[in-house]
Amino acid sequence: ILSQLEKDSLLLREPISEKWIKRLITSDTFLNGGYRYCVWLKDINETELEQMPIVGNMIKNVKKIRLASSRPKLANIPHLFAQITQQEGTDYIFVPRVSSERRNYIPIGIANKDTIITDSCYIVPADSLYLFSVITSNMHMVWMRAVGGKMKTDYSYSKSIVYNNFPFPEITPKQKDSLTSHVYNILEEREKYPEKTMAYLYDPDKMPDGLREAHKYLDQAIDQIYRSKPFENDEDRLAHLFKLYEEMIIKKNNE
């Protein structure tokens, strides 16, 4: 893993390594800004590696660290990350594992296929972009606050408890297209503030009016997918979600 300065230094001394350097997203860099990179050597061959002695020394150091660790078997693959869960050639929606409890919405992002995302975030293939709207909606936040865990006082997202168990109705292709348009609206509003971090944009006291409105219209669209009658409040939404969850469990048990 490289900082911006380390990346620049490596490229200056070993320009050929540029092919093997990728942008790295952590929950911290996504929320608070900054750039990180990594040397990503998946599918490299010995001839290519021999042309990069500085990178070769990095690998030797990683091997020493892994041999002395609690998982010495990882020393057999010192040129690779210990855990690789991303599919190749796919863009991703990602959700930070931990997010401030002050936020009305967990900020989530989209990364292109050439970006590596650390395990500080959960990832979902972005081939169905409407899922972005579902995860970032107030309805999903209501569910997350009720069933998710906490890291100190912050929200701790979970794929098994929060995401996998979230009750969401079957929707039509037209509804998916509508939700996807709301995703683009949110992304466009974010792009108006390139100098601001996600932490700033999603601070409830600082959130720009346009971004707040984009989320509001998305929330209304999501609510209408669940039922035509407006919800009175978040307690009403949660009661409806638990009713759907109970029906979902009964149906699953009867299959």
Instruction: Provide block-wise average pLDDT over 10 residues at a time, the chain (255 residues).
Output: 96 97 95 95 93 96 96 95 85 93 94 92 90 96 92 86 94 95 97 97 97 98 96 97 94 81
Residue showing tokens 């932490």:
199
The predicted pLDDT at position 251 comes to 84
Distances (CA, A) of 13 to 53, 55, 76, 114, 146: 10, 11, 27, 23, 52
Q: How many Å separate Cα 36 from the centre of its chain?
A: 16
Gap between the Cα atoms of 103 and 105, Å rounded: 5
The predicted pLDDT at position 237 comes to 97
The predicted pLDDT at position 222 comes to 97
The predicted pLDDT at position 126 comes to 87
Ramachandran angles phi, psi of 120, nearest 5°: -80, -5
The predicted pLDDT at position 98 comes to 92
For residue 52, the tally of other CB atoms under 10 A from its CB is 21
The predicted pLDDT at position 32 comes to 95
Indicate whether this model's pTM tops 0.85.
Answer: yes
Angle between helix 209-226 and 173-191 (nearest 10): 170
In the chain, the largest separation of any two C-alpha atoms, in whole Å, equals: 66
The predicted pLDDT at position 87 comes to 83
